[in-house]
Chains A and B, each alone.
Chain A
Amino acid sequence: MSVLLAVLLSQVDGGTLITAPRQAAPGSSVVRGADLVTTERDPGRAFRQVPGLARSSPGTSDVVLWGASPGESRFFVEDIEVPSLLHLGGWRSIVAPALVGRLEVAPGAFRADLGRSLGGLVKLGLAELPTGAHVDTSIDLTTASAFASLGSERVRGSLSGDFSLLPTVFAPLLQGLARDRYPLPASVDAQGRLWLAPTERDTVDVLALTSSDESRQQVASADPSLTRGQQRTGWFARVGATWRHGESDDGFSVAPFVGVDRQNRTVLSAVGQATSTEQRWSAGLRARANGSITDWLTLQYGVDAVLGRTAFGRTGPPGFPSREGDVVAFGEPLSNEVAVDAWRTTAVDAAIWSTADLSLGPVTISPGLRLSAVSSDVSRASVRIAATPPLGLSSLEVLLEPRGRFSWTIVEGLRLAAAAGLTHQAPDGADQSVVFGTPALLSAQGAHAALGASVVAGFIAADATGFWRGSTGLAVRDPGALPAVTNALLSTGEGRAFGGQLEVRQRAWHGVSSSLGWTVGRSERRDGPTATWRPSDFDQLHSLVATVVWQPGAWRFGARGRWATGSPRTAVIGSYVDVRLGVSEPLFGTQNALRLPDFLQVDLDAAYTFALWTGSLEVFLSVLNVTNHRNVEEFAYDSTWSTRGALLGLPLVGTLGLRGAW
């Protein structure tokens, strides 16, 4: 169970902290609560606090689980796959707070029903809609949100949405370079939901959601020709339904969805402009059935499939956009080479899976198997020469992935657990350009393993987990000046991550609950079997999160502290002048041998809830970074790359807001 979520649950029910459903696998978090409340003010964003997840910089929505690159993890709202659970910049989640009912974080070693990912999985479950008429609105420094629902025992519906206030509130307050360099995205999301219970044993939950982001960033210069900037827009929509029949241990569910995504990115640099566009249509289906064969054997089996058809367009240097392993510095101009390509991919990743749970007294053994078929079609696999018609490329892979889990309750309150499995991730269509990438890329392979122990003693619970992750076949750049045609990327990359995490949670006692989570780990990459391992761009050695909540009556006070090792960076050790453009270019030292300084932040939160005759009104005050610690979020350099400065994170910031519910 995650640190923060443990606290959240403790606010709902003091006993829930310890007795909530246990983690599904070592290191995983599965929390169900009817009324999540968070010191974050945004429960959908609370998963960023869990152990095993590296801290990401403000301005990014990266999610790094057990050292996996952000693109290696997948995100779901119920069974609907979404590109991210966070808006651009990571400031808010993509659903209104009142809709959030459950968060599941599986950093790795997941069961056979989950897959298609080298990294972890994060699932946001929806809250049960209430009967009657309800309105829940809130407003704070970052967001205004609204939720309205109407329902009976059999039919319930809701409409909700969030609107970002960041550009309106923050932009006028930031000055000069800070305003230019910190993107403050304009974000909007909306959700519509319809829940039906046609029979006692059947429910149908239909969800439509959409999310939109736009971010503009510009770095001014004393030399106007060196002014550079970036604009990103993203939009997606999903419509999905979940039909559930029977009980959770003897029934089935079917969850189809369809969706569309659009992403655009433009980078302006001293030598020109680079653009990237992406439009994806997708459809998916997840179905599962559960059944008890005997008292000691239950069986789960199902289907997990997703189809995506994506059109890509890209103009810019071959290294655009940058990827893990690229040696770049903040603010560095792009190469002046210009390549152009437009391509389409159609990808299917379909799996059937089955898991058995054998309960043998204190021991539970859960073997599982997942059989996947990965199909990839690329519209062009040969270089465009004159008027030659395009020749496409198709590939089909069949992958068998065993999964296993073992649990042993040694004595009451002490349990050992282990889990391991193989997984894969289909090639990213964005890497299958004939010009920018390699159309013939195949799936990357991964293996996860975790070993954990859980202890419950009185009102204290603790989990210790060790983890290991390995992956092969990762797409990396060909280091040569003249790579083979249509092979700008090679499938020779390897990754590994290993470490441990410790969580200690204290159940509510006189209104006080607390938790502590510490993750120590390494994430490393190399470009080929003979290359030297190096820290990955997302390596974070330590991450420590501590949370305390006190709830005396209508008051609620919270404090949260976080300390994390700085992310790796490559030092600039010199420069040379490009006389053609009159600009300096950086010279780099050993890749990722430098680190940003450690991060430290303490936040305080206070709220008071007034009971009104038809509802409640909460007034809350949040103070972020109360110690005003000068956290270095990025290194920045002057125009000659001779002086290194620091872009600092949030200073002491306080916000006051209201939340009303009727």
Chain B
Amino acid sequence: MRARPFVLVLCACAPAFVDQPWLVTSPRLIAVVAEPPELPPGGHATVTATISQSGIAPSWARCDVAAPLGQNEPVATSCLSEPSAAAPTALDFALTVPPDACARFGPDVARADDRPRDPDATGGWYQPVGLSFVGQTSFAFERLTCEPAGVTNDVAAAFRHARTPNRNPRLTVTAQVEGRDVGFEALPLGQAVAFVPTLDDPETFALIDPATFTLTSSVETRTVQWLVTDGALDLATTRGQPTMWQSPSSAGQGTLWGVARDSRGGVAVVTQPLVWR
């Protein structure tokens, strides 16, 4: 027997969002850089926000409550309330990691029958830091240096010897048109411009394999997020390769931001004025 099915009518069934995550048209938090990006409990870091519009400073609040186990979102709802009037307001925030941060967010347990928190894929635990401005709430995360849990003394000793605190990546950006470098102050109109990132070498770091509880190592993965105030980008995030920017057809100026992130929470940001004419 031969037969053939026919489809009479069929159409697409999904919403069409105009999603342009790379376009900055209103005050927006671009990135937060902590220096250093990893701290032991009790350590101090300077956390700096980059905001798309000058003259705006966020208010800061350290979040000391861990999210419930099993919740997808990384921050406890109790940390989402409006910051108090006494919260510091500046682009920089002096962060002091609480001495018990590895018990609140990491593998240390206060009681023997507490469940230790699980690390991320790079073996890291993080202290949240909230910042708010013009109605937007964001959270940065400072990586914590905690002792590994569930391993033998030998593995723990080897891990302590091998581990290196995370460092922020270094990022530079150049512009190219048809393979030739061009200056950011003289970009052509209505053309495809390649923004080319250059990153330093990725770090290799010690890691406890969560399946075997043995010491291993891994290499950071890094991405570059791109944001612009005008034109159109083909890729909002790249893994080391350029993104193509379609410049506007009439003269103007704007800003490009490149935000490099490593997989252990390190961040670098480049703010680059653009002029197209």
The answer to whether B69 and A656 touch across the interface, beta carbons within 8 angstroms, is no
Within 8 A of B (CB), among A376-408: 383-387
User: How would residues 225 to 237 of chain A score, 1 for a CB under 8 Å from any chain B CB and 0 otherwise?
Assistant: 1100000000000
Q: C-beta contact mask, A471-496 vs B, less than 8 Å → 1, else 0?
A: 00000011111111111100000000
**Chain B 237-272 near chain A by CB (<8 Å), digits 1 or 0:** 111000000000000000000010100010100000
Per-residue contact bits, chain B 20-46, to A (CB 8 Å; 1 contact, 0 not): 111000000101100000000000000
CA distance A485 to B210 in the complex (A): 17
Residues on the A chain within 8 Å of B7, using CB: 141, 169-170, 173, 653-655
Provide the bound-state CA to CA distance between A78 and B235, in Å: 55
Produce 1/0 per residue, B66-77, CB < 8 A to A.
111111111111
Q: Which of A173, A336, A478 has the most CB of B within 10 A?
A: A336
Residue of B at shortest CB range from A582? Answer: B225
B181 interface hit (Cβ, 8 Å): no
Q: How far is the CA of A383 from the CA of B114 in the complex (A)?
A: 11
Please state if B121 and A272 are interface contacts (CB–CB under 8 Å).
yes
Known: A481-B65, A639-B21. A339 touches B118 (CB 8 A): yes
CB of B109 within 8 Å of the partner chain: yes
- Which secondary structure dominates chain B's binding surface? loop
Cα separation A383 to B1 with both chains bound (whole Å) = 60
Q: Is B176 an interface residue (CB 8 A)?
A: no
A: which residues have CB within 8 A of B?
A: 137-141, 165, 169-170, 173-182, 221-226, 271-272, 315, 317-319, 326-328, 332-340, 342, 383-387, 435, 477-488, 576-582, 585-587, 617, 623, 633, 636, 638-640, 643, 645-658, 660
The reply to whether A651 and B14 contact each other, CB–CB distance below 8 Å, is no
Q: A482-B109, A636-B17 are in contact. List 20 more A-B contacts (CB 8 A).
A: A174-B12, A179-B12, A222-B22, A315-B210, A318-B70, A326-B70, A336-B74, A338-B121, A485-B109, A485-B116, A578-B139, A581-B261, A582-B237, A587-B73, A587-B80, A648-B13, A651-B11, A651-B13, A655-B8, A656-B8
Which residues of chain B from 86 to 138 have any CB-CB distance to chain A below 8 Å in the complex?
109, 112-121, 126, 136-138
CB atoms of A177 and B118 under 8 A apart: no
Report the 8 A-B pairs with minimum CB-CB distance, sorted nearest first.
A645-B15, A654-B8, A177-B14, A319-B70, A658-B3, A481-B66, A577-B138, A178-B12
Give every chain B residue within 8 A of A582 (Cβ-Cβ): 31, 225, 237, 259, 261
Q: Give per-residue flags for B183-195: 1 if the beta carbon is below 8 A from chain A beta carbons, else 0.
A: 0000000000000
Partner of B115, one of A178, A181, A484: A484
Chain A residue at minimum C-beta to C-beta distance from B8: A654
Instruction: Check B121–A580 contact: CB distance below 8 A.
Output: no
> Is A337 in contact with B117, judged by CB distance below 8 angstroms?
yes
Q: Are B75 and A177 interface neighbours, CB within 8 A?
A: no
CB distance from A633 to the nearest CB of B (A): 8
Bound complex: CA A646 to CA B17 (Å): 10
Q: Are A338 and B210 in touch, CB under 8 angstroms?
A: yes
**Residues of A contacting B155 in the complex (Cβ-Cβ under 8 angstroms):** 386
Q: Could you tell me the distance between the alpha carbons of A140 and B259 in the complex, rounded to whole angstroms?
A: 52
CB-CB nearest in chain A for B210: A340
Q: Do the beta carbons of B13 and A647 come within 8 Å of each other?
A: yes
Q: Which of B10, B223, B236 has the most CB of A within 10 A?
A: B10
Knowing A481-B66, A577-B139, A580-B265 touch, does A181 contact B17 (C-beta < 8 A)?
A: no
Question: B29: which of A222, A272, A577 is its contact (CB, 8 Å)?
Answer: A577
A191 to B70 Cα, complex, angstroms: 40
Residues of chain B within 8 A (CB-CB) of A387 are: 152
Q: Which residues of B contact A337 (CB under 8 A)?
A: 117-120
Residue numbers in B under 8 Å from A640 (CB-CB): 21
B13 to chain A, nearest CB (A): 4
Query: Shortest beta-carbon distance, A41 to chain B, in Å?
Result: 11
Contact indicator B72/A655 (Cβ below 8 Å): no
Report the count of interface residues on B (CB-CB < 8 A): 75
Q: Taking the nearest CB of chain B, how far is it from the CB of A14, in angstroms?
A: 30
**Closest CB in chain B relative to A482 CB, distance in Å:** 5
Q: Provide the bound-state CA to CA distance between A333 and B32, in Å.
A: 21
Please judge, given known A-B contacts A222-B22, A579-B138, whether A636 and B14 are in contact too, CB under 8 Å.
yes
Q: Do A579 and B6 touch across chains, with their CB atoms under 8 A apart?
A: no
Find out whether the CB atom of B113 lies under 8 angstroms from the CB atom of A477. no
Asked if residues B237 and A177 are in contact (CB atoms below 8 Å), the reply is no
Listed by A's residue number, 26 A-B pairs whose Cβ atoms lie within 8 Å are A140-B5, A173-B7, A175-B12, A176-B12, A178-B12, A224-B238, A319-B72, A327-B71, A335-B74, A336-B121, A338-B119, A384-B150, A384-B213, A386-B152, A387-B152, A477-B70, A488-B70, A576-B137, A579-B29, A579-B32, A582-B259, A585-B74, A653-B10, A654-B7, A655-B5, A658-B3
Please name all residues of chain B whose beta carbon is closer than 8 Å to the beta carbon of A175 when the two chains form the complex.
Answer: 12
Docked Cα-Cα span, A332 to B20, in Å, equals 18
> A170, B10: Cβ atoms under 8 Å?
yes
Residues of A near B65 (CB, < 8 A) are 481
Give Cα A211 to B115, complex, Å.
39
Tell me, yes or no, whether B228 is within 8 Å of chain A by CB. no
Q: Give, as a whole number of angstroms, the nearest-CB distance from B129 to chain A.
A: 9
- Give CA–CA (A226, B153) in the complex, Å: 38
* Contact call B70/A658, Cβ cutoff below 8 A: no
Query: Does A165 contact B12, Cβ atoms closer than 8 Å?
Result: no
Q: Which residues of A contact B22 (CB under 8 A)?
A: 222-223
Cα A139 to Cα B13 in complex, Å, equals: 25
Residues of B within 8 A of A165 (CB): 5
Q: A221 to chain B: which residues have CB within 8 Å?
A: 19
Whether A645 pairs with B17 at a CB distance below 8 angstroms is yes
Quote the shortest CB–CB distance from A608 to chain B (angstroms). Answer: 14
Complex contacts, A328 vs chain B, CB 8 Å = 72
Using CB atoms, name the residue of chain A closest to B28: A577
- CB closest chain-B residue, reference A575: B137
Enumerate chain B residues within 8 angstroms of A435, measured Cβ to Cβ. 118
When distances are taken between beta carbons in the complex, the residues of chain A under 8 Å from B118 are 317-318, 337-339, 435
A335 touches B9 (CB 8 A): no
- Known contacts A336-B120, A485-B113; is-contact A656 B6 (Cβ 8 Å): yes
Question: Within 8 Å of chain A (Cβ to Cβ): is B159?
Answer: no
* CA A327 to CA B67, docked complex, whole Å: 13
Known: A174-B12, A326-B70, A652-B9. A339 touches B210 (CB 8 A): yes
Cβ-defined contact, A580 with B8, below 8 A:
no
Write out the residue numbers on chain A whose beta carbons fall within 8 Å of the beta carbon of B4.
Answer: 139, 656
Given A481-B65, A582-B225, the answer on whether A333 and B150 have CB atoms closer than 8 Å is no
Selected contact of A223 from candidates B1, B67, B236, B267, CB within 8 Å:
B236
What chain A residues lie within 8 Å of B120 (beta carbons)? 271-272, 336-338
Query: Nearest residue in A to B265 (C-beta to C-beta)?
Result: A580
B8 / chain A contacts, CB cutoff of 8 Å = 623, 652-656
Q: Do B115 and A488 touch across chains, with their CB atoms under 8 A apart?
A: yes
| Residue from the list B119, B141, B239 in contact with A579, Cβ < 8 A | B141
Residues in B neighbouring A386, C-beta threshold 8 A: 150-153, 155, 213
B21 touches A222 (CB 8 A): yes
> What is the bound-complex CA distance between A317 and B31, given in angstroms?
26
Report the minimum CB–CB distance from A476 to chain B (whole Å).
10
A residues near B75, Cβ cutoff 8 Å: 576, 585
CB < 8 Å: which of B15, B68, B136, B213 contacts A481?
B68
A646 touches B211 (CB 8 A): no
Contact (Cβ within 8 A) B223 A225: yes
| Distance (whole angstroms) from the CB of B75 to the closest CB of chain A | 7
With A223-B236, A383-B150 known to touch, is A478 a contact of B69 (CB < 8 Å)? yes
Q: Does B16 make an interface contact (CB < 8 A)?
A: yes
The contact of A139 among B5, B117, B141, by CB within 8 Å, is B5
Q: Which of A334, A483, A654 contacts B9 (CB 8 A)?
A: A654
Most buried by A among B75, B118, B239: B118
**What is the CA–CA distance of A643 and B239 in the complex, to the nearest angstrom?**
28
Task: Name the residue on B nearest A478 (C-beta).
Answer: B69
Of A271, A577, A586, A654, which contacts B6 at CB under 8 A? A654
- B6 neighbours in A (Cβ, 8 Å): 141, 654-656
**Does B146 count as interface, using CB distance less than 8 angstroms?**
no
Residues of A within 8 A of B119 (CB): 337-338
Which chain A residues border B210 with CB–CB below 8 Å? 315, 338-340
- Selected contact of B15 from candidates A338, A486, A647, CB within 8 Å: A647
